[in-house]
């Protein structure tokens, strides 16, 4: 079920009403959440429910057993069981065909042709997200950071919690699971804040992301038919498409959970205002980057075993992160680019290389912020080419067009802005992106929602009306391919 669908428009108000009807009866409330979450997830394909139920059951049993034994070997065996089941499902459904194709290609490089056909495997929606969420439970119990829960109902509801089940934020058991053991009272201010956040998320998704997708899909789907200007515009638009698509989902998820009293972690923090790649990854998909930090980077040794080990750990984490995003070598390269970028930043900050400080460029002046922010934005955008391109050939064609076939005449040609939609619609999209950036700048100084709440009744309702009006008039409703959230495929 999509957040931006008619189905959800009926589903969520119904669940919201029933939720607050039984909110003070903990068992009944969690049962409602669990049933609602399974209906929400099963809306795509009910068969995938078996996977999430099996993962939940295995980790619930493993968590209980881990907490009852102090035998080191047995504890390692139990954790291994959890890892094998969860990562086994993930590897089979997401990476089987990738490994088969890579195996065939590796022989082809040496002039050998082998027969191996891929399997007809359907990727379960959101499997990468709920797998990491449930693994946080067993790993943290193994590390003795949390205790197991005896409440199977609350645990199953935690794993399947419908607002963030499909595309995050990836919550830790230590943070979200205790919230299923509490009851909440209806709070008008909190509910209104949640609904506003959901509306803002829908604005990002339907008004910006889905409209940008019309241009991006046309250009990236027909690489070779356009010039460097179209490639550049499509790449810039993809940067805002993926940001608004993914952060829009997170906003809707956080807002929906907030209307029911739950608090989910912030997943995005204006990442395109970053002044370095390091800062970018502190602002982009925060729940995933912190998950990799705590469960992969630190166990590898983190930054405590010398610079060389630190750099190799960083690179490994980002290559794995790239593969997590998609079963293709283009995603691996995307992750590797970011890993190398972070390593270069760390090297340049070492005292013997830090010539920027000697030139006074480390001072937080506006010009320095603009300079480093622009470089970071360019690097991030160029890396997005590997993320979006369907093949290396397409990626290299895009790079070649951007750097060697960029015609300034095309930049002033109306035909360039008539790809996927009309030039008028293009200008409207640019206006919406500008408004988004202004809103994020305002929000970074003081909560935008607090500012709205301080306004008069007329001003507040005018703002609400404008959001609804914008969604109705400028939202994309007809492009089925654009309505799907990008991260559902991961």
Q: 3-state DSSP call for residue 338?
A: helix
Q: What does DSSP assign to residue 30?
A: H
User: What is the DSSP annotation of 271-335?
Assistant: GGG-SSHHHHHHHSSHHHHHHHIIIIITTTTTTSS-HHHHHHHHHHHHHHHHHHH-SSHHHHHHH
325 annotated active-site:
yes
Backbone angles phi, psi at 120, to 5 degrees: -90, 85
Main-chain dihedrals φ then ψ at residue 391, nearest 5 degrees: -160, 165
281: nearest Cα among 269, 270, 273, 289: 289
Beta carbons of 467 and 475 less than 8 angstroms apart: no
Gap between the Cα atoms of 375 and 279, Å rounded? 13
3-state secondary structure at position 454: coil
Pull the structure tokens for residue 197. 């956040």
Which backbone phi and psi does 55 adopt, to 5 degrees?
-60, -45
Kindly state the tokens that stand for 341. 């970028």
Give the chain's end-to-end CA distance (angstroms, integer): 16
Catalytic residue among 120, 181, 285, 325: 325
By C-alpha distance, which of 440, 428, 437, 434 is closest to 473? 428
Output DSSP code: residue 117.
P
Looking at the annotation, which residues are catalytic? 325
């Amino acid at each position: 079920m999509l957040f931006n669908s008619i189905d959800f428009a009926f589903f969520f108000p119904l669940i919201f009403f029933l939720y607050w009807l039984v909110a003070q009866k903990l068992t009944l409330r969690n049962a409602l959440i669990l049933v609602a979450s399974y209906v929400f997830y099963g809306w795509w394909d009910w068969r995938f429910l078996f996977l999430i139920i099996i993962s939940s059951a295995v980790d619930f049993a493993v968590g209980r057993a881990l907490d009852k034994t102090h035998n080191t070997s047995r504890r390692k065996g139990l954790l291994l069981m959890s890892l094998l089941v969860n990562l086994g499902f993930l590897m089979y459904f997401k990476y089987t065909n990738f490994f088969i194709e890579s195996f065939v290609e590796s022989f082809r490089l040496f002039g050998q042709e082998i027969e191996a056909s891929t399997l007809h495997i359907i990727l379960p929606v959101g499997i990468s997200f709920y797998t990491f969420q449930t693994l946080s439970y067993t790993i943290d119990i193994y590390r003795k950071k949390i205790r197991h829960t005896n409440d199977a109902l609350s645990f199953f509801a935690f794993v399947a919690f419908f607002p963030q089940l499909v595309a995050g934020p990836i919550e830790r058991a230590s943070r979200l699971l205790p919230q299923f053991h509490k009851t909440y009272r209806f709070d008008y201010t909190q509910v209104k804040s949640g609904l506003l956040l959901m509306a803002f998320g829908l604005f990002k998704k339907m008004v910006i992301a889905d409209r940008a997708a019309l241009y991006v899909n046309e250009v990236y789907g027909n690489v070779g038919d356009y010039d460097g200007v179209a490639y550049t515009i499509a790449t810039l638009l993809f940067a805002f498409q993926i940001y608004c698509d993914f952060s829009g989902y997170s906003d809707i998820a956080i807002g929906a959970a907030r209307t029911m009293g739950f608090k989910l972690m912030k997943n995005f923090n204006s990442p395109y205002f970053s002044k370095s790649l390091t800062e970018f990854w502190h602002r982009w998909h925060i729940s995933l980057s912190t998950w990799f930090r705590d469960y992969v980077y630190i166990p590898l040794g983190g930054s405590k075993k010398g610079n060389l080990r630190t750099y190799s750990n960083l690179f490994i984490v980002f290559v794995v992160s790239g593969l997590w995003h998609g079963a293709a070598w283009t995603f691996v390269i995307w992750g590797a680019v970011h890993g190398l970028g972070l390593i270069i930043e760390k090297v340049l900050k070492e005292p013997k290389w830090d010539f920027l400080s000697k030139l006074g460029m480390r001072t937080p002046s506006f010009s320095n912020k603009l300079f480093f922010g622009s470089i970071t934005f360019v690097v991030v955008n160029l890396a997005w080419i590997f993320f979006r391109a369907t093949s290396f050939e397409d990626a290299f064609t895009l790079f070649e067009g951007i750097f060697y076939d960029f015609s300034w005449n095309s930049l002033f040609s109306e035909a360039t802005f008539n790809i996927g939609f009309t030039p008028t619609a293009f200008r409207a999209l640019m206006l919406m992106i500008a408004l988004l950036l202004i809103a994020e700048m305002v929000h970074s100084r003081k909560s935008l929602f607090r500012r709205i709440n301080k306004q008069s009744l007329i001003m507040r309702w005018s703002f609400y009306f404008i959001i609804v009006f914008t969604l109705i008039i400028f939202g994309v409703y007809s492009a089925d391919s654009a309505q799907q959230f990008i991260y559902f495929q991961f």
